Amino acid sequence: MAIYHAKDDGRGTFRFFREQMTERVKRRLGLQIGLREALARNELVLHFQPIVELERGKLLGAEALVRWNHRERGLVPPAEFIPVAEDIGLIAPLGEWMLNEACAQAAKWATAGGRKPFVAVNLSARQFQEGSLVSVVQRALARFGLAASQLELEITESILMQQTERTLQVLNEFEALGVKLAIDDFGTGYSSLGYLKRFPVSTLKIDRSFLRDVSRDEDDRAIVAAVMAMARSLALTVTAEGVENTEQVAFLRVHGCDQVQGYLYSRPVPAAEFERLLQKPVLSGLSVVGEQAA
């Protein structure tokens, strides 16, 4: 067990065995067994977190975030089970389910003003290694009659850095379909400027770690300002993630950020609740709704 932990942390290192390691392995084993049945049992559920236009508070769309409604443990967060699903080769069927469910919901959405909001779906690196990702997306759009322009796929910088030729081909096919692409957690990976030019990306999502102390931390201010200036000159849309307070909003306004997402506007909420939010003329960011703080 100690060897596994050492390998997890990269080679050329060592770990002493500790009792917690047994606990971690047991938990993981439990998740593995349950996860294989979760889909069939309808235990997975998508919540939707509004993405809001900063300037006027218009609700533009939502990010679909998966939760696992576990019979004994309640709502299990994705950070706990997505990596397990990736490890045991279950992310392809899970990812396909999430994509289909997100498209099914988004096909029903319309604002009071008749606008059609978009849905953003997270993709795992592993899903890119499957040959069929593009046809999975095409089938989901066709099945629910969702316009390609209403779908945004969120990918991480690490996806762009690995097997770049194949990835480029897949992303070009998405672009040809009219599906938008966003880079998730921007700034936490390689942040190579070269790939921003090379890949058909339309949106950068600035990771929330840079926003957290943006009203106090000079370095974070500089990073966020630089990312926004760069995005503007490359004609990319910027979404700030993890917006929790009005100081952050003030800073983002000064730097011309386009879109915001965070607890200040709304937590991720179940589909029915998101449909109610669509009927509001604006999300002002003054009332917090949805999932209770953990």
Instruction: State the residues that interact with Ca ion by CB under 5 A.
Output: 122, 154, 184-185, 241
Q: Which residues bind ligand C2E (CB under 6 A)?
A: 49, 64-66, 77-79, 82, 98, 122-124, 184-185, 208, 242-244, 261-263, 268
Question: Cβ contacts of residue 62 below 8 Å, gap of 6+?
Answer: 48, 49, 50, 51, 106, 117, 118, 119, 120, 274
Q: Residue 161, Cα to own-chain centre: how many angstroms?
A: 18
What's the farthest any 2 CA atoms get from each other in the chain? 61
**Closest residue by Cα to residue 245 from 202, 208, 207:** 208
State in angstroms the smallest separation of the CB of 21 from ligand C2E: 24
Q: Binds 65, which of ligand C2E, Ca ion, none (CB < 5 to 8 A, cut-off by type)?
A: ligand C2E
C-beta closer to ligand C2E: residue 78 or 256: 78
How far lies 233's CA from each of 131, 236, 237, 238, in Å?
34, 8, 10, 12
C-beta closer to Ca ion: residue 186 or 251: 186
C-beta closer to Ca ion: residue 5 or 243: 243
Residues 99 and 127 sit within 8 Å (Cβ to Cβ): no
State in angstroms the smallest separation of the CB of 233 from ligand C2E: 25
Q: Binds 263, which of Ca ion, ligand C2E, none (CB < 5 to 8 A, cut-off by type)?
A: ligand C2E
Q: How far apart are CA 292 and CA 142, in angstroms?
A: 35
Q: Binds 152, which of ligand C2E, Ca ion, none (CB < 5 to 8 A, cut-off by type)?
A: none
Which residues face 10 on adjacent strands?
none
Q: Binds 30, which of Ca ion, ligand C2E, none (CB < 5 to 8 A, cut-off by type)?
A: none
C-beta closer to ligand C2E: residue 185 or 258: 185
Q: Kindly state the tokens that stand for 30.
A: 């439990």
Q: Kindly state the tokens that stand for 209.
A: 């770690």
C-beta closer to ligand C2E: residue 49 or 150: 49
8-state DSSP, 285: S
State in angstroms the smallest separation of the CB of 250 from ligand C2E: 16
Grouping H, G, I as helix, E, B as strand and the rest as coil, residue 39 is coil
C-beta closer to ligand C2E: residue 152 or 223: 152
**Residues of the chain by 3-state class (helix, strand, coil), percent to 5:** 45, 20, 35
Residue nearest to ligand C2E (CB): 262
State in angstroms the smallest separation of the CB of 3 from ligand C2E: 28
Q: Binds 124, which of Ca ion, ligand C2E, none (CB < 5 to 8 A, cut-off by type)?
A: ligand C2E
